[in-house]
């Protein structure tokens, strides 16, 4: 039997019997594949903040499963108190990272389920233990559904993305919008995986992605595991490979897309988009509809997470590489202006400028398709 690769592990999983969240600790990759089990609120919060689980869709699934696990631990004897505690857990997990809207989106989905169940139980003849069991069953179902949907969403994005590519194409990607950022396929990597299955022989360039090296540690690793021809480049090399004509398309993921198509993704993405425009390379954002935030009008209103300076000055180095006390600006994301984006690929089709109308149509298609799918 072929050796197990990183793609054979679940990025996010749940042990329903033990009520534990199971994730790959991505801070240890590629050197060590370590699965960790979490059941305490602080540990789940830390895992998200410290990027043990990261990537917008994976964060959403982990938070939903984490919230279910925390809900199972609530000890009370009234529905009102249960909901009060539930909301505290939800708000706490929601505070772990601010930019990826999937975190909030997944927690709100769980909240809707809890509220709906509580409302329908209000005048029931069940005792509290029975009511609690009904609510927890519904929350369990919802968090499993969020994961299942993510797999379908990524695969469908992959199919749309693949329709834009030709065999032998060079593709550049930034950060990790791969399987490790989702539950399967990834978003930006989904067309690559599907094309590889069909013999497309893509040549992929993975930006290393300073300062946390998601491109070097995660994207290069998972693509190599799938036998994809991947070349790792420093972030400041992307202009050269585009100028050389080695890149026919850029595919990136996203953390929040505003209603006008402005897109927040890993810091450096807007630089890549600017270069792509300069060298006439189409620039595609792969976006599950759960990442499109119609309540945020433009990129200016997106809250950009700022992280610790040590990620820039010390992390990954044997010794500190910057003078002690130097001022550091370390935003985790930047916003790519909508006019730099050729298309935003969702599971309900590809949006093109002007994006707002296409998003409205896409959400209409989603609604017509029924809840979730």
Q: Which residues are catalytic?
A: 255
Position with the least CB separation from ligand MRU: 253
Closest to ligand MRU by CB, 136 or 332? 332
Cβ proximity of 298 and 368 under 8 Å:
no
Closest to ligand MRU by CB, 12 or 100? 100
Give the number of other CB atoms < 10 A from CB of residue 74. 17
Rounded to 5°, angle at Cα 152 from 112 and 217: 100
Q: CA-CA distance, 273 to 170, in Å (whole number)? A: 16
**What is the nearest approach in angstroms of ligand MRU to the Cβ of residue 342?**
17
Cβ proximity of 259 and 339 under 8 Å:
no
Closest to ligand MRU by CB, 102 or 313? 102
**What is the nearest approach in angstroms of ligand MRU to the Cβ of residue 280?**
23
Closest to ligand MRU by CB, 187 or 238? 187
Cα separations in angstroms, 255 against 95, 262, 281, 309, 324 = 15, 11, 22, 21, 32
**What is the nearest approach in angstroms of ligand MRU to the Cβ of residue 359?**
18
Q: Interface with ligand MRU by CB under 6 A: which residues?
A: 51, 54-57, 100, 175, 177, 181-182, 186-187, 214, 253-255, 265-266, 332
**What is the nearest approach in angstroms of ligand MRU to the Cβ of residue 214?**
5
Q: CA-CA distance, 27 to 296, in Å (whole number)? A: 31
Closest to ligand MRU by CB, 93 or 136? 93
Closest to ligand MRU by CB, 76 or 274? 274
| Whether residue 186 has a cis bond before it, omega within 30° of 0 | no
Q: CA-CA distance, 152 to 264, in Å (whole number)? A: 23
**What is the nearest approach in angstroms of ligand MRU to the Cβ of residue 62?**
11
**What is the nearest approach in angstroms of ligand MRU to the Cβ of residue 54?**
3
């Amino acid at each position: 039997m072929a050796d197990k690769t990183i793609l054979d592990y679940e990025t996010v999983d749940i042990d329903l019997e033990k009520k534990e969240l199971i994730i790959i600790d991505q801070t240890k990759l590629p050197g060590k594949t370590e699965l960790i089990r979490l059941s305490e609120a602080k540990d789940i919060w830390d895992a998200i903040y410290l990027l043990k689980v990261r990537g917008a869709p994976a964060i959403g699934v982990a938070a939903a499963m984490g919230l279910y696990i925390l809900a199972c631990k609530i000890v009370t004897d009234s529905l009102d108190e249960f909901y009060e505690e539930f909301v505290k857990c939800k708000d706490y997990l929601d505070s772990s990272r601010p930019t990826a809207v999937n975190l909030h989106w997944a927690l709100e989905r769980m909240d809707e389920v809890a509220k709906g169940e509580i409302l329908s139980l209000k005048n029931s003849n069940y005792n509290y233990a029975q009511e609690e069991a009904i609510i927890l069953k519904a929350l369990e179902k919802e968090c499993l559904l969020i994961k299942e949907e993510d797999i379908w969403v990524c695969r469908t994005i992959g199919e749309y993305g693949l329709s834009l590519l030709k065999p032998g194409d060079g593709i550049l990607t930034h950060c990790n919008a791969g399987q490790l950022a989702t539950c399967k396929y990834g978003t930006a990597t989904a067309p690559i995986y599907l094309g590889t299955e069909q013999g497309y022989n893509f040549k992929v360039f993975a930006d290393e992605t300073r300062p946390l090296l998601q491109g070097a540690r995660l994207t290069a690793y998972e693509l190599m595991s799938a036998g994809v021809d991947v070349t790792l480049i420093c972030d400041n090399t992307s202009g050269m490979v585009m100028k050389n004509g080695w890149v026919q398309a850029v595919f990136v993921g996203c953390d929040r897309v505003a209603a006008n198509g402005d897109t927040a993704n890993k810091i450096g993405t807007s630089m890549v988009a600017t270069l792509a425009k300069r060298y006439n390379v189409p620039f595609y954002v792969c976006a599950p509809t759960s990442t499109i935030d119609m309540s945020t009008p433009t990129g200016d209103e997106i809250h950009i997470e700022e992280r610790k300076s040590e990620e820039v000055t010390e992390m990954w180095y044997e010794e500190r590489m910057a003078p002690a006390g130097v001022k550091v600006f370390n935003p985790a994301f930047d916003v790519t202006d909508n006019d730099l984006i050729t298309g935003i690929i969702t599971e309900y089709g590809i949006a093109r400028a002007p994006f707002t109308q296409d998003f409205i149509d896409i959400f209409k298609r989603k609604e017509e398709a029924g809840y979730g799918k």
